[in-house]
Structure 1
Amino acid sequence: AIIIGAGQAGPPLAGRLTAAGMSVALIERKLVGGTCVNTGCMPTKAMVASAYAAHLARRAADYGVTLSGPVGVDYKAIKARKDKVSNDARGNLESWIAGMDGCTLFRGHARFETANT
């Protein structure tokens, strides 16, 4: 089987097909994991979580918590955490794909040459 794209649907499909004994060529032109892992859901939610933590810290007194000084935000640390979340998820997905017997990941742009190929 040939699967074009290693985003949200490609790797699970490859897993099911290889589990059924099929050989799979998984083709990805950019980053494994697609938009969600690399630029969408996961990095966005990581940054939102940091913003929420800062929000709660600023409202600490509402919860009976006392802070000794103002709450600071380290944007470089937030970006580093966001990048780590995406990189770890992508790395785990790549490891899972690499461990699939019968699945080969090809890096490149896939396209159909004609209507019959």
Structure 2
Amino acid sequence: MTAVKAWSRCMRQTGHRYAWPDEIREDLDGLTQGMSAGRAHATEVELAMAEATCSKETSLGTTARALEREYRATKLQDYSDQLATYQRMKLAALARAQSITAPRTGP
């Protein structure tokens, strides 16, 4: 839990009070409700950048990847179909994040 606490502390320093990354996703719809599309996009980008920066600056990202490798190797061998679905969802989320953070052209 030390990595999560460090991440949360980092997020507080950026002005975002989240104890865990999943809280961002749980809060996002309510947070952007009523905003213009442009403002909602800017809010999503700001949160994504803060989350990624804090994951990198703390050990949360490294810890999560290490745990994923460990569980994948020892605990999840019987869940290959679910893991394949997870990988597809992860790649789709990455593509979505890239489209959200890509510079916009036009008005």
Normalized against structure 1, the TM-score is what?
A: 0.31
Of structures 1 and 2, the one scoring higher in RCO (CA 8 A, sep 6+) is 1
Going by fraction, where is helix more abundant, 1 or 2? 2
Larger strand percent: 1
- Work out which of the two has the higher radius of gyration on C-alpha atoms and give 1 or 2: 1
